[in-house]
Amino acid sequence: MQTPDWDDFEQLVEQALSLLPDELAQAIDNVVVVLADRHRDEPDLLGLYEGIPLTEREEYGGLAMPDQVTIYRLPLAAMCESPDQLVAEVRITVIHELAHHFGIDDDRLHDLGWA
């Protein structure tokens, strides 16, 4: 499959975010979603959550930097054989990383079928 250009990849991520249920989207607090080609140390990583999950926050806010979800374009494209598969994998990756924001770990995501 051909690697999507930046504009097309951004649209895929935006589409995945738009499919979140309203109550879930409204519960996201102080998170930025960014795109990158690949993680510098783990080139096969599909996505990464960096921050303080909602379940672990005490006094959070004010001047706190936002949590960050990074979605990696090149490894996602490399694992997919078709555009439809890429759409599905981007959605799964976005949901997986945002789940970490809500305090859901990889083991639980695996149990739920999202890992």
- Average pLDDT of the chain to the nearest whole number: 91
**Residue 81, domain CATH:** 3.30.2010.20
pLDDT of residue 60: 58
Total domains in the chain come to: 1
pLDDT in tens, 13-47: 999 999 998 988 999 988 999 999 999 999 999 99
Note whether residue 1 is domain-resident: no
Which residues, 6+ apart, have CB-to-CB distance to 80 below 8 Å?
1, 86, 89
Residues 79, 89: Cα–Cα separation, whole Å: 9
pLDDT in tens, 57-77: 776 556 678 899 999 999 999
Residue 113 has pLDDT above 70, yes or no: yes
State pTM to two decimals.
0.91
Which residues, 6+ apart, have CB-to-CB distance to 13 below 8 Å?
33, 35, 71, 90, 94
Note whether residue 27 is domain-resident: yes
pLDDT of residue 84: 97
Note whether residue 17 is domain-resident: yes
Note whether residue 43 is domain-resident: yes
- Domain of 63, in residue numbers: 6-112
